[in-house]
Amino acid sequence: MIQVATYSGGVSSSVLARGPSTGTGPAPLRLGALTVDPAVVLAPMAGITNPAFRTLCREFGAGLYVCEMITTRALVERNEKTLQMVRATPDEEDAFSVQLYGVDPATVGRAVEMLVDEGVAGTRPAHIDLNFGCPVPKVTRKGGGSALPWRRVLFRRIVRAAVAAAGDVPVTVKTRIGIDADHVTYLDAGRIAQDEGAAAVTLHGRTADQLYSGTADWTPIARLVEAVDIPVLGNGDVWEADDALRLVAETGCAGVVIGRGCLGRPWLFGDLAAAFAGETRRALPTLREVAAVMLRHAELLSEDQGELHGCTDFRKHVAWYLKGFSVGSDVRRSLAMVSSLDELAELLAGIPDQPYPVAVLGGPRGRTGPPRPVALPEGWLADRDDPRPPAGAELMVSGG
306 pLDDT higher than 50: yes
The torsion of the CA quartet 155, 160, 161, 166, rounded to 10 degrees, works out to: 130
Helix (H) or strand (E) holding 29: strand 29-31
Closest C-alpha to 105, from 139, 68, 153: 153
> Of all residues in the chain, what percent carry a pLDDT higher than 70?
92
**CATH, residue 71:** 3.20.20.70
Cα–Cα nearest to 31, from 205, 198, 192? 198
What's the confidence (pLDDT) of residue 22? 52
Whole-number pLDDT of residue 368 = 82
Residue 255 has pLDDT above 50, yes or no: yes
pLDDT for position 3? 32
Residue 24 pLDDT grade (very low, low, confident, very high; cuts 50, 70, 90): confident
Same domain assignment for residues 241 and 202: yes
Q: How many structural domains compose the chain?
A: 2
Pair 152, 294 in one domain? no
CATH classification at residue 311? 1.10.1200
- Averaged pLDDT score across all residues of the chain: 91
Helix 105-113 and helix 152-166, axial crossing angle in degrees, nearest 10: 20
For residues 65-73, average pLDDT: 95
DSSP 84: H
> Residue 18 pLDDT more than 90?
no
Same domain assignment for residues 222 and 346:
no
3-state DSSP assignment of residue 179: strand
Domain around 94: 29-277
Lowest mean pLDDT of 109-123, 233-247, 377-391, name the range.
Answer: 109-123
User: pLDDT class for 23, splitting at 50, 70, 90?
Assistant: low
- Give the whole-angstrom CA distance, residue 258 versus residue 208: 18
Position 390 pLDDT exceeds 90: no
Indicate if 238 and 318 belong to the same structural domain: no
Question: So which residues are the catalytic ones?
Answer: 134
